[in-house]
Amino acid sequence: MPYEAMPVRPIRVTYRCDECGEGEMVNPKPDWSSSPFQVLHSCSNCGAEKTFTEMLPTIRYVKEGELLTMDPYEPEVVELPEALKT
């Protein structure tokens, strides 16, 4: 299988607190022995705790011209600069 390379665009992904709607989930405390992987986070504003299967905030990559969709999150609409549209 030959190598393939393509340009990608990094997108920072955060999770807004379900409780207060103000802060974002930060301060990840991973449980390395869990399966599936569990990471406890706390809200930067109210301190509410929530568990995710990844550490947040995180960076995801999309191909240029492609939009980021996140399951189970709502799709994030990203407007590309004209120069990056293909």
Q: How far is the CB of 18 from Zn ion (least distance, A)?
A: 8
Look up residue 46 and give its two tokens: 């109210």
Which residue's CB is nearer to Zn ion, number 16 or number 63?
16
Look up residue 1 and give its two tokens: 């299988």
Which residue's CB is nearer to Zn ion, number 13 or number 48?
48
End-to-end CA distance of the chain: 26
CB 39 within 8 A of CB 53: yes
Q: How far is the CB of 67 from Zn ion (least distance, A)?
A: 27
Which residue's CB is nearer to Zn ion, number 8 or number 46?
46
What three-state secondary structure class fits 29? strand
Name the residues that contact Zn ion, by CB under 5 A: 17, 19-20, 23, 43, 45-46, 48
